[in-house]
Structures are given as C-alpha cells and as structure tokens.
Amino acid sequence: MRAVIQRVSEASVTVKGDIVSEINQGLLILLGIEDDDDHQDVGWLSKKVANLRIFGDENDIMNKSILDIKGDAIVVSQFTLHASTKKGNRPSYIKAAKPDVAIPLYEAFIKQLEKDLGKQVGTGIFGADMKVSLLNDGPVTILVDTKNKE
C-alpha cells in the first residue's frame, strides 16, 4: 500500500456536484493498493497514520498525532499512486490492484483507521470521478509505503 498523507486545515470530496465527505483540521489520505497487499499492510499503515506526529504542539513543533489533536480524516482511493513512468510518457497502472482485491482492502483500511482513531472516517467513492479539495496546512505531505515500511 502507498499513501500520501496530507495535513489539512480543511478538505472535502465531491462526486457529481455533491459533497460526500468534508473535514476541518486533520488528514487527507490518498490510498493506493497493489495486488500483493494484505491485512498486515492494512494494520501497519493504519497504526502509522494514527500515530504519525505531524501536528504542531504548543511550541509549534511537529510533535502531536491526529489522535492527540482529535482531528478528522478522509481516505480516498487512488490507483494512480502505483503508476509506473519508466517507459514512455503514458503511465502504466499494471501494479495497481483490480477492484476485486482493492475494494476489500480499502474498506478494511477505513474500518481499521476508524477503530484506531475512535471515530468515523470520511471517504470518497471507490472508482468514482472525484473532485478533492484541500487546504494543505504547512504544507505537510508525507509519503508512506508499506512494502518499504517507510
């Protein structure tokens, strides 16, 4: 699994003109899933996201997690995170999992993150043409890959 984790002041996901998720301070997580991902990846990534200390403390040092600030989260599926641009100019998405693999892992990640955060997590709609709006706070953007454990 690959995740782009963005610290936001606000974020929303719109599908066909309707807002399907909206948060204030928290994290917008773009999630890419590949065929060999499994539930161990789900658990590791959820724990990493919940405990990642990227929010400012009283001295404005990134020392607090989303748990500490009681922030919100939105998770959006994004197969393009597994794009290969090695050959030519048209990205290949061959490493991205097909829906029969990706959807159950996407849903498992959302459920695990809700459990780890102790609150509901906003989502996009898997496979939909989504418009994602965010106000990146910092900006702070972190890339995490479960295969490299970083």
Tell me what pLDDT residue 149 has. 84
**How confident is the model over 32-42, as a mean pLDDT?**
96
Tell me what pLDDT residue 150 has. 74
Q: Which residues of 15-26 are buried (b: 16+ CB within 10 A; e: fewer)?
A: eeeeebbebebb
- Per DSSP, the three-state class of 46 is helix
Report the predicted TM-score, pTM, of the whole model to 2 decimal places: 0.95
DSSP 74-120: EEEE-GGGG-B-SSSSS-B-TTBPPHHHHHHHHHHHHHHHHHHHTS-
Tell me if residue 14 is catalytic: no
**Of 22, 26, 20, which Cα lies nearest the Cα of 8?**
26
Tell me what pLDDT residue 91 has. 93
**Of 79, 75, 147, which Cα lies nearest the Cα of 107?**
75
Per-residue pLDDT tens digits for 40-70: 999 999 999 999 999 999 999 999 999 999 9
Peptide bond into 139 cis (omega under 30): yes
Domain ranges of the chain: 2-145
Per-residue pLDDT tens digits for 72-119: 999 999 999 999 999 889 999 999 999 999 999 999 999 999 999 999
2-145 homologous superfamily:
D-tyrosyl-tRNA(Tyr) deacylase (3.50.80.10)
Catalytic residue among 14, 80, 85, 123: 80
